[in-house]
Amino acid sequence: MKEAIAAMLAELREDDTLAEIGKALAAGTDPLALVEGLRDGMSEVGRRFEEKEYYLSELIMSAEIFKQAIGLIEPRLASGSGAPRGSVVIGTVKGDIHDIGKNIVATLLRCGGYEVHDLGVDIPADAFVRKLKETGAPVLALSGLLTLAFDSMKETVDSLAEAGLRGRVKVIIGGGPVNDKVVEYSGADAWGMDASQAVKLVGQFVGP
Amino acid sequence: MAIMTPGERIGAAVEMRKPDRVPVVPIIDFFAGQYGGITQHDMLFDIKKADAALEKTVRELGAIDGQNLSYAGLGRIMQVIFPNPPVMPGVGAEPEDGQFQFVEKTVMDWEEYTQIEERGPVRWIVDKMKLSNPQLGNPVGMLKTFAAVAADITKARGSIKRWRRKGIESMVAYNIVFTPMEYISLFMRSFNDFILDIFRHPEEVKEASRVLMKPMKMQGSMMVRMSGLKRVFMGGTRTSASCLSPSQFEEFALPEWQEMCEFWVGKGVTPLLHFDSDWTAFFPLLKNLPRRKCILNLDGSSDIFKAKEVLGDHMCIMGDVPAALLKLGEPEEVDDYCRRLITEVGAGGGFILSSGCTIPVDARPENVAAMLGSVHRYTP
């Protein structure tokens, strides 16, 4: 069952995956095993993405199937079961309203079992600081497509230092023009070229 | 070789002949507004101020052969023609010197894909424009709006002529055309929903593409007539390899790009394919577009050196000094990158030096100067 679900998800068979989940739940299958099957499917999608067998469109579709399938399973999960792998605060920095990349990363992180605090777009530095203090999240993911966003990223990293959080919070950045130079300029720890890399980075910093 | 005029130089590059030197044709107006001391709002809404700012920029930082797409004075037009208008500096709560940005918003349900033909595609588009421009709902409001737009277009046309007299060509000015799927994804369905539609409703997406092709061509033809320029700017990003797989591109998007390019080439108009995001994986497929009739304008995300290898004999290549380099790099790094572009991508002709998408508003002036001056320092 678990393997079948993983394979269906990896093949992006939306109706089949959801029907199989429904059948399994009706048969009393352990919901956690189904979640594991879905996660295995997402891992396979990630592998295919890295091998360039899949592209971003397939990542988006797989995340959509995962989200729906989890929606079916969640009511059957005992509270406290399936604790998140860790938490991440994410947002598009001040002055920038682009959210496609940020949303995809947030979705894939949720699929990967992370608790994601998505603050949205055009987020000032102090809002990130507040959320990091409130949640204790060890990773901050910043997105931006404009070159003006580089300054906001730097401002945010500086604010973390001023708030005494820099020692315990890793900062990853991403977005169209982001590269090593922007990491150096902003004082972030790393950058991800695509959503898959961003999830990997979080795994490195939080634990897989 | 005799010294060419900017128009001849650009023309030679587009026709894949060897110009006297590589022409430099950036998207410069956002940066020029800032450098020239005006707000971004003024750049978008006051073409005289925008022209003065550009004049100062090229006088102080170096000459250009032409402007790529120009946003100068087009603010009001963009507010009307885009069903999902971009965020505009100085409009609503936006600061006068804020940043022009597109907004992701869904303004149609997927079921509408198959209802466009019945409604009539032009009427359907106007319906969507009314969502953000309710004045279009009554004849007087519509008349006033289109009169204002026509006035701005006339001013922009005047600007094109003035710049030509000063030795700066307009590549495409406001001749902006979209393929139906780029249009749907950018202005109607949002990126995420569009991608899901490709999987869930493929035939409906294709149906909408077929129906919307005519009004897209009509709009472009109107712009070409009004501007007097025989080139069109065709923006591509949502159908790039950063988004679609090669098989999806072949099935959904390539037929559109082919039809659109063949249409323009048939009319003697050169398509300038302004391809943002990464198109590298699709380079072999772009050989299906008319040979030696299009310009491939890359933004720094694609591998432009690979483009030269795969498509160097097929289309003029234009690009691609990255925005991050212009903001964070040193002049020597900009110079070095431009040297590589000119000597490697420019080898044999068919190359235009340009910014990767736009020169960012906060680029370092010395980096812009390094880029503009590089065409005089290096030869292919």
Indicate whether B194 belongs to any domain: yes
Token pair listed for B229: 């320029």
Cβ contacts (< 8 Å) between A148 and chain B: which residues?
A: 99, 360-362
Indicate whether B221 belongs to any domain: yes
pLDDT at A93: 97
pLDDT at B81: 84
Single-letter amino acid code for the residue at B103: V
Rounded Cα distance between B159 and B176, Å, is 17
What is the CB neighbour count within 10 angstroms for residue B137? 11
Which stretches of chain A drop beneath a pLDDT of 50?
A: none
Q: Which CATH superfamily is domain A87-206 in?
A: Cobalamin-binding domain (3.40.50.280)
B152 Rama class: left (phi>0) / alpha (psi -120 to 50) / beta: alpha
Residues of chain B by 3-state class (helix, strand, coil), percent to 5: 55, 10, 30
Token pair listed for B224: 């070409």
pLDDT at B178: 95
pLDDT at A79: 65
> In whole angstroms, how large is the CA radius of gyration of chain B?
20
pLDDT at A81: 63
ipTM for the predicted complex comes to 0.93
pLDDT at B103: 86
Cβ contacts (< 8 Å) between A185 and chain B: which residues?
A: 328
Residue span of the structural domain in which B103 resides:
6-377
pLDDT digits (tens, 9 = 90+) for B259-313: 999 999 999 999 999 999 999 999 999 999 999 999 999 999 999 999 999 999 9
Rounded Cα distance between A7 and A29, Å, is 18
Across-strand partners of B352? B318
Produce one character per residue of A115-140: b if its CB has 16 or more CB atoms within 10 Å, e if not.
Answer: ebbbbebbbbbebbbebbeeeebbbb
Which residue in B has a C-alpha nearest to residue A150's C-alpha? Answer: B324
Cβ contacts (< 8 Å) between B281 and chain A: which residues?
A: 52
* CA triple B75-B78-B80, angle to 5 deg: 115
**Residue spans of beta strands (DSSP E) within B231-301:** 231-236, 270-275, 295-298
Cβ contacts (< 8 Å) between A179 and chain B: which residues?
A: 324
Reported as a pLDDT band with limits 50, 70 and 90, residue B360 is very high
- From A176's Cα to the closest Cα of chain B, the distance in A is 8
Rounded Cα distance between A155 and A124, Å, is 9
Q: Is the pLDDT of residue B118 over 70?
A: yes
Single-letter amino acid code for the residue at A145: L
CATH 1.10.1240.10 fits A2-76, yes or no: yes
Q: State whether residue A58 sits within 8 Å of chain B by CB.
A: yes
Cβ contacts (< 8 Å) between A146 and chain B: which residues?
A: 99, 101, 360
Under an 8 A CB cutoff, do B101 and A177 touch? Answer: no
Token pair 């030269």: residue: B308
pLDDT at A85: 83
**B104, B185, B355: which to substitute to probe chain A, counting the most A Cβ within 10 Å?**
B104
Percent of chain B with pLDDT over 90: 91
Number of domains in chain B: 1
pLDDT digits (tens, 9 = 90+) for B224-264: 999 999 999 999 999 999 999 999 999 999 999 999 999 99
Under an 8 A CB cutoff, do A146 and B277 touch? Answer: no
pLDDT digits (tens, 9 = 90+) for B331-353: 999 999 999 999 999 999 999 99
Least confident of A29-33, A79-83, B17-21, B44-48: A79-83
Cβ contacts (< 8 Å) between A95 and chain B: which residues?
A: 98-99
Indicate whether B1 belongs to any domain: no
* CA triple A149-A154-A155, angle to 5 deg: 95
pLDDT at A112: 87
**Spans of all domains in chain A:** 2-76, 87-206
What average pLDDT does range B198-227 have in this prediction? 96
pLDDT digits (tens, 9 = 90+) for B126-151: 999 998 899 999 999 999 999 999 99
Rounded Cα distance between B236 and B182, Å, is 7
Distances (CA, A) of B124 to B86, B204, B208, B212, B221: 20, 16, 11, 10, 19
Exposed/middle/buried for residue A156 (C-beta within 10 Å: 0-12, 13-18, 19+): buried
Length of chain A: 208
**B30, B185, B186, B195: which to substitute to probe chain A, counting the most A Cβ within 10 Å?**
B195
Q: State whether residue A32 sits within 8 Å of chain B by CB.
A: no
Q: Is the pLDDT of residue B326 over 80?
A: yes
pLDDT at A208: 59
pLDDT digits (tens, 9 = 90+) for B177-208: 999 999 999 999 999 999 999 999 999 999 99
- What is the CATH number for B129? 3.20.20.210
pLDDT digits (tens, 9 = 90+) for A76-92: 876 666 678 899 999 99
Which residue in A has a C-alpha nearest to residue B321's C-alpha? Answer: A177
In this structure, are residues A169 and A137 in contact, taking their beta carbons and an 8 Å threshold? yes
Q: State whether residue A61 sits within 8 Å of chain B by CB.
A: yes
- Nearest-by-Cβ selection for B244 from A57, A146, A151: A57
In this structure, are residues A137 and A88 in contact, taking their beta carbons and an 8 Å threshold? yes
Token pair listed for B252: 């959904």
